[in-house]
Amino acid sequence: MPTAPEPEPEPGEDDLHALAPPPQPVFHVEQALLGALLLDPHRLGDVPGIGADSFSTAAHAALFSAISTLPPPDPDEHAKNTKWLDHVLTTARGKARALTAPYLHTLVQVCPWPRHAPAYARMVEAEHARRRLHRAAEHLVQTVNDASLPYPVQPALDKADALAALVDDIASRFPPRAGVLPRTPAPPPATPPDQTEAIEEEQLLLATATAHPADIVSIGWLLPDDLTLPLHAGLWQCLTALARRDEPIDPVTVLWEAQQRGLLDAGDEPREVLRLLAEPAGSVEYWAERALQRSLLSTAEHTGRHIGAYADDPANTPFQLVVGARRSLADINAIRTRWQHATGATPPQRRRPAATTRAGPPTTTVAYAARPTRATR
């Protein structure tokens, strides 16, 4: 078994900081995996599911990149000298200057069992999946809140599609297991933006729909929950109910319907409701589409934040992340369908991956071929 290369001068304080272990357990898992590969380079073929970008630090990524690109050494020669380890260190230092021979010695020492490399790699792959999911969810939230985008809906939907594709990829790498949804609590509500514009536009929607009731039926894609205020949602329910029953619609009949539904119990003055419904402007379809757009973006932001919370919880397995993320993404898909109906947009055809075989092994379990297949459900 080879020993580590000869010690070099100690690195400076900044270099040591680059190698300091972060609090995440995966750092130690990565050390064990790299130590196994330094001891037994032939085990690289047992860990096909990971790459340099799977590692949490630049130093570890550089080491894995060097190990995976350099020709493997002759086993007998590797057991006698450190020539190959010297090549690994020299190559890796091109990307991570902080790496030293003593650190490679540390990696070799902390590896409990080199034959457990596939298990270590599976853990690294799982943590990488968590980080990828968190980044994709964060990109979705950032896109929703990007004030520089004049038409934010399609960019947000594109980010949602990218997030869904990533979830599919994670699902293909990790077979289903018996389990439950993530128990991660929902994140607290985001700080609400200034709703002045939304409230004014919803008032115009309600007043214009009251003045032009024939247009209400054509916008069945707008739901009460798309509106920001409970009173506005209730008044929209009143309007759609009166339209379905083909009853007269004007401010007075809507006010009476609101009373029958208990909307005025919250203290809203009848005179204020009548005033709100008596100031139409523009078209019903325009204001309804504006309301639906806000609802879609709000749903996308909530979905991104919820999936981000799942990914931040280390107690969630990759399969739990998949199940939770897909449930959250279903909310976007539902409102996307209504948006496409409202705007006449053609839904993109996203190719779904083949179904994961329920008994299929993870991508990093090649070395376990001689063992009985583990039950996955």
Q: What per-residue confidence (pLDDT) applies to 180?
A: 73
- pLDDT value at residue 139: 97
- Mark which of 112, 137, 162 sits at the end of a domain: 112
The per-residue pLDDT string of the chain (377 residues; one tens digit each, 9 = 90 and over) reads: 555 555 444 444 344 445 555 568 899 999 999 999 999 999 998 998 899 999 999 999 999 999 999 998 888 888 888 899 999 999 999 999 989 999 999 999 999 999 999 999 999 999 999 999 999 999 999 999 999 999 999 999 999 999 999 999 999 998 777 667 788 887 877 777 778 999 999 999 999 999 999 999 999 999 999 999 999 999 999 999 999 999 999 999 999 999 999 888 766 688 999 999 999 999 999 999 999 999 999 999 999 999 999 999 998 999 999 999 999 999 999 999 999 999 986 655 555 444 443 334 444 443 333 333 333 33
Exposure on the CB side of residue 208, measured as CA atoms within 13 A = 16
Q: Give yes or no: residues 299 and 354 share one domain.
A: yes
In this structure, are 98 and 237 located in the same domain? no
State whether 92 and 222 are in the same domain: no
Residues 29 and 81 in one domain: yes
108 domain-assigned: yes
Amino acid in position 299: T
Alpha-carbon distance of 336 to 331, in angstroms, equals 9
What pLDDT does residue 21 have?
56
Asked if residue 329 and residue 180 are part of one domain, the reply reads yes
Q: Tell me whether residue 336 is in a domain.
A: yes
Q: How many domains does the chain have?
A: 2
Enter the tokens of residue 74. Answer: 């002759």
As a whole number of angstroms, the distance between CA 348 and CA 164 comes to 13
Q: Please tell me whether residues 296 and 355 are part of one structural domain.
A: yes
Q: Give the Å distances, CA to CA, from 3 to 61, 81, 211.
A: 22, 7, 85
Residue 180 lies in a domain: yes
- Say if residue 226 is in the same domain as residue 107: no
Q: Of 112, 132, 167, at which residue does a domain stop?
A: 112
> Rounded CA gap, 295 and 293, in Å?
5
Q: Tell whether 345 is covered by a domain.
A: yes
Q: Is residue 86 part of a domain?
A: yes
Question: Is position 140 within any domain?
Answer: no
Q: Are 26 and 122 in contact (CB under 8 A)?
A: no
Q: Do the domain assignments include residue 295?
A: yes
Domain identity same for 48 and 189: no
Contacts 24+ apart (CB under 8 A), 234-242: 234/258, 234/261, 234/263, 235/206, 235/263, 235/273, 235/276, 235/277, 236/205, 236/206, 236/209, 237/261, 238/263, 239/206, 239/209, 239/210, 239/213, 240/216, 242/213
- The answer on 155 and 29 residing in a single domain is no
Tell me, yes or no, whether 271 lies in a domain: yes
Segments forming the whole domain that contains residue 194: 149-361
- Distance, in Å, from the CA atom of 211 to the CA atom of 284, rounded to the nearest integer, reads 9
Q: What share of the chain is helix, strand, coil (3-state, %, to 5)?
A: 65, 0, 35
- The residues near 314 (Cβ < 8 Å, ≥ 6 apart) are 24, 25, 130
Instruction: Supply the pLDDT for residue 80.
Output: 83
Q: What is residue 265's predicted lDDT score, i.e. its pLDDT?
A: 75
Domain closes at, from 85, 112, 139: 112
Q: Are residues 100 and 247 in the same domain?
A: no
Give the CATH number, domain containing residue 317: 1.10.860.10
Query: 349 and 251 share a domain?
Result: yes
Rounded (10°) CA dihedral 286, 287, 293, 298: 180
Q: Are residues 302 and 212 in the same domain?
A: yes
